[in-house]
Structure formats: structure tokens, C-alpha cells
Amino acid sequence: MPLPSLLGVFAHPDDEALLAGGALAQHAASGARTAVVTTTWVPGTARAAELADALAALGAGEPRMLGYADHRVPDSAPGRPRLCDSPLDEAVGRLVGHLRRFRPRIVVTHDAYGQLTGHPDHRHTHRVTALAVSASGLEHLYPEAGAPWQPHALYAATHPHSALADLAPLLAGVGKSVLSVPDHLVSATVDVRPWLGAKWAAVLAHRSEVARERALPGILSRLPAGTRDRVIGTEYFIRLHTHPAARGLTRLAA
């Protein structure tokens, strides 16, 4: 029986692979519809091409991009505003359009911290996604974006305190912050080791990030395989919306 349809909404190309690549591959392998919306970068750029390869590895279709510029890379969307500088209502409306067209039962995005490093694009994508999921089911909001559709659940990809034994020293070693949440906030702990082949292929597809010394794909690529698999073999999520569910889930449930 297929798992529920799943839409990831992430800030940059490579976030989808690192944070929910296993869950996306798991859902796709079960026959569920899966897709990813990326809020920054635009088609025609190198990282958009890498994103296409990563999504193919995960079985998540073609890139869907909101078209805003990365906070720190103006060339990511020439002539377009940075995501964090764009009108909030505009960004929410664009994402509502994707939600109503794809009609997912589950949506996954960044946590409120913006993941471990607190990147401003991650934090803003969290805010935009939370607002869009709430608005998507309301017929009088963004009527131009299509017929209302209410996702059943919104999950935030996260990292609990207890999961940082390997990862925290790696990030601290390149001068990056490490923001994690108390373990009791985690609603779903997903063992994605059966789908690590697809997840790691998706990470490696982001070639420009693998080549960077301080980027997480590059850090992971230099690790022994056993350590790397331990770091990326479990994914953690906080259920934020809309119907309540019990804690201790081992998959993403609608």
C-alpha cells in the first residue's frame, strides 16, 4: 500500500536530500506521489541542474522553484529579490499555488531554527510554508492559485540533542553553529537506511556543494562510509499541523 503523497519545501538545492531524502525515497518507492519545491535559485543555473539530478535519484519529479535569490548568492536568481526581502504575501501565494496543484497529504519543511546552522533562508522558508499550508485550504485566500486543498500534516525536519554526537563536531570544526531541539519535541524518527543508496546519490548530485570544504555535502563526502551512514541514516521530524498524531512515529503519517 502506498504511503501518503509527500511534498518537501526547502530553501536551497541540497536541503531536500540532506533533510528528507530518505523519507522522499521511501514514499516514492512505495508508489506515493512525491515532489519538492525549492524557494531559492532559478532554472538555468548550475545548482538547478544539480537539483534535477538529485530529485531524479529520489524519484521526486522535476524541480519546482519559487525563483527567489539565495540570501548570500545574488547570481542564484539574477534580477530577482532575495527570498528574505520578498513580500511575504507574494511568497506565500506562490507556494499555495504549488500546494493546490500537487495536492499533497503531507508537507515537510525546515524547523523554526532553520536547521542546525540557522540559515536565514531556512528560517524564512519555514515561515512561508507554515502560512501557505494554513492558507491552502481556505477558498477566499489566493483564489487565483486554484481550488482549495488542505494538507493533512505539516512536519518540520529537525535534529534532536541526542543525535549530534557525530554531526556537531564536524560543523563546529568549520565554524558553524549547531542548533538542535529537545528530544521530546520529535514526533517521528524515521530509519531511512533501506533508502540510503538513493539519499546518498541525491546528496552527491549536488556537485558544487560536495566540492566545498565547509558545505555539509562536502563534509559528509570526506567521512568514512560507516560514519557517514550513521549521520544520515535517521531523519527526525516535528509534527506541526494539522490533525494530531501520537509521538514515537517511525514514518511520516497523515
CATH of domain 6-242: 3.40.50.10320
The pLDDT of residue 248: 85
Q: What is the pTM of this model?
A: 0.95
The pLDDT of residue 244: 58
C-alpha cell at 93: 501565494
The pLDDT of residue 249: 85
243 — pLDDT class (breaks 50, 70, 90) = low
Q: What are all long-range contacts of 168-172, with beta carbons under 8 Å and residues at least 24 apart?
A: 170/219, 170/223, 170/231, 171/116, 171/117, 171/216, 171/219
What residue ranges do the domains of the chain occupy?
6-242
The string of pLDDT tens digits covering residues 48-66 is: 999 999 999 999 999 999 9
Helix (H) or strand (E) holding 6: strand 6-10
In this structure, the strands spanning 234-242 and 153-158 are antiparallel
The string of pLDDT tens digits covering residues 93-150 is: 999 999 999 999 999 999 999 999 999 999 999 999 999 999 999 999 999 999 999 9
- Residue 247 pLDDT greater than 90, yes or no: no
- Which has the closest alpha carbon to 21: 203, 218, 215? 203
Beta-ladder partners of 158: 236
- With beta carbons less than 8 A apart as the criterion, state whether 239 and 106 touch: no
215 — pLDDT class (breaks 50, 70, 90) = very high
